[in-house]
Amino acid sequence: MSEKVLMKGNEALAEGAIRAGCRFFAGYPITPQNEVPEYMSWRQEEVGGAFVQAESEIAAVNMLYGAAATGTRSMTSSSSPGISLKQEGISYLAGADMPCLIANIMRGGPGLGNIAGAQGDYIQATRGGGNGDYRLIVLAPFSVHELANFPKKAFELAEKYRMPAMILADGILGQMMEGMSFDFDPVEPAALKPACWSIGGARAEGKKRNMVYSYALGEGELEKMVLKRADKYALIERDEVIYEERFTEDAEILVVAYGISARASIEAINIARKKGIKVGLLRPITLWPFPTKRIKELSSKVKCILCPEMSLGQMIVDVKLAVDGKVPVYLHARPGAFFPVAEDIAVAIESALTGKKEQLFDLESLADKATLGCHQPENKPSKEGALL
């Protein structure tokens, strides 16, 4: 499809996965990603694939394990609390080196939170989230167009390195509608032959049936598997980092933002540049692998860095690790599913340069003003004279 069409983000994500060759989807309803399984429920039938509405998120992710083991391009999707329920299964997928696609359309949290968009799942996504030493390839779109085109890239990377990949978006992106187009022709099923390591691939080649498992009980075997995976992760960090830069050539302050926060930041940068403030943007597209090297290089050219996030500050941890104390790193935080506003980010840009606190998130100043937000029992003497 080369012509531009108007689509909702969740539906574009689902259609992009179908066109990328996804032929198995298992999921469970949760707002704000419900359009993904709804779309898959009829679209998979049209292309000869399989759709399962599982009885739970836990069931869905384990179905994904079974389908991926056959060599079929397989996918599940959910939103923040649902992804938390899937973490055990995701750890199993990583331990069995299963290529697959997991989509998280983030909502507010912690707990049930609310159904608006948020970015509070960054650390969970980029650090694995479940038990053991593992990583996921994590792609962060910031438009409906990218939501539509990232599934193909995610499947390709997942299969290249035999590991799960995640698309990490948020409820705003999932629900918004934009004009978009697909940058790739639909993948033909014949081009997606199951790999030789998979159960389906071995069967097709008449070989002995493969075993797909995530455990290694022999002495020293698990360590070898984990270290081998570490070598793979090092290759990914070297070769697969993707990011976008804008106005970084002359920037005195660097904004680092991803997803919907990056879109608001672009408008904020336009506002600031009209005032003569030299500010640039680095947008991580792969949250893992993170563009550590490039941020480190840019930190030697700027006075400070600002991270607008729809969280209490999670990506900023990786930015600070990259900067290694060279320049100050500030946070503009909108947690609890509040949308970052360009005008507020523009104020935060000026504040970061001038040392003011306006629109910057400062834990130390907050602690000075903080009051405990719960009822405390009064200290009154008991009959025995002790304090209760």
244-369 topology per CATH: Rossmann fold (3.40.50)
Residue 121 · residue 106 · CB < 8 Å: yes
Query: For the segment 126-162, what is each residue's pLDDT rounded down to a tens digit?
Result: 999 999 999 999 999 999 999 999 999 999 999 999 9
Domain locations along the chain: 5-239, 244-369
Closest CA to 151 of 117, 122, 187: 187
Q: What is the pTM of this model?
A: 0.92
What is the pLDDT at residue 383? 45
What is the pLDDT at residue 301? 97
Evaluate if residue 386 carries a pLDDT over 50: no
Taking CA atoms, 296 is separated from 26, 152, 285, 304, 305, in Å, by: 40, 30, 17, 12, 11
What is the pLDDT at residue 369? 62
What is the pLDDT at residue 102? 98
Evaluate if residue 371 carries a pLDDT over 80: no
Taking CA atoms, 381 is separated from 375, 384, 385, in Å, by: 18, 8, 5
Task: Tell me what the mean pLDDT of segment 56-64 comes to.
Answer: 98
User: What residues contact residue 78 under an 8 Å CB cut-off, 6+ apart?
Assistant: 27, 28, 30, 33, 57, 60, 85, 86, 103, 104, 105
Assess whether the region 5-239 and the region 244-369 belong to the same CATH fold. Answer: yes
Task: Tell me what the mean pLDDT of segment 195-200 comes to.
Answer: 81
Chain CA centroid to CA 368, Å = 33
Q: Which residue has the higher pLDDT, 203 or 213?
A: 213
- Tell me the average pLDDT of the chain: 91
In the chain, the N- to C-terminal Cα span, in Å, equals: 71
Tokens of 342: 């360009």
Q: Which homologous superfamily does the CATH classification assign to the domain defined by 5-239?
A: Thiamin diphosphate (ThDP)-binding fold, Pyr/PP domains (3.40.50.970)
Q: Count CB atoms within 10 A of the CB of residue 331.
A: 23
What is the pLDDT at residue 188? 81
